[in-house]
């Protein structure tokens, strides 16, 4: 997704749920910088919050009607759209090691 090699580590699928954070990846909707060519990922529990973990459960968000899609920038907005029947969320059982990297000066 970013032209770097990806290692498959089957043991990550056995990590207990209580140590996982979530990443929400969009597979349709507004085009953007996300790994599938749509809007950027949405993360829960960023660094400095309770529940932060670099290990993230993949949640794939799909718009029911991509023509009505809009940018969703928080987990709350995603869940509200799900409750309204606008999006579905699939969990394919993938765990990704996605630590937030902060460079000198505080930039991610």
Over residues 8-67, the pLDDT tens digits come to: 888 888 899 999 999 999 999 999 999 999 999 999 998 888 889 999 999 999 999 999
Listed by start position, the domains of the chain span: 16-97
Over residues 66-104, the pLDDT tens digits come to: 999 999 999 999 999 999 999 999 999 999 998 888 777
How many other CB atoms sit within 10 Å of the CB of residue 7?
6
| DSSP assigned state of 80 | H
Cα 80 to its chain centre, rounded Å, is 16
The candidate with the shortest Cα–Cα distance to 26, out of 43, 44, 39, is 39
The most distant pair of C-alpha atoms in the chain lies apart, rounded to whole Å, by 42
What's the confidence (pLDDT) of residue 11? 87
Q: What is the pTM of this model?
A: 0.88
Distance CA 27, CA 3 (A): 18
């Amino acid at each position: 997704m970013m032209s770097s090699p990806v290692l498959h580590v089957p043991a990550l699928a056995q990590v207990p749920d209580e140590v996982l954070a979530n990443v929400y990846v969009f597979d349709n909707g507004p085009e953007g910088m996300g790994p599938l060519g749509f809007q950027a990922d949405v993360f829960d529990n960023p660094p400095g919050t309770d529940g932060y973990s670099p290990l993230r459960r993949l949640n794939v968000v799909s718009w029911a009607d991509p023509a009505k899609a809009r940018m969703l920038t928080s987990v709350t907005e995603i869940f509200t759209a799900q409750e309204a029947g606008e999006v579905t969320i699939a969990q394919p059982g993938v765990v990704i090691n996605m630590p937030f990297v902060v460079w000198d000066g505080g930039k991610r």
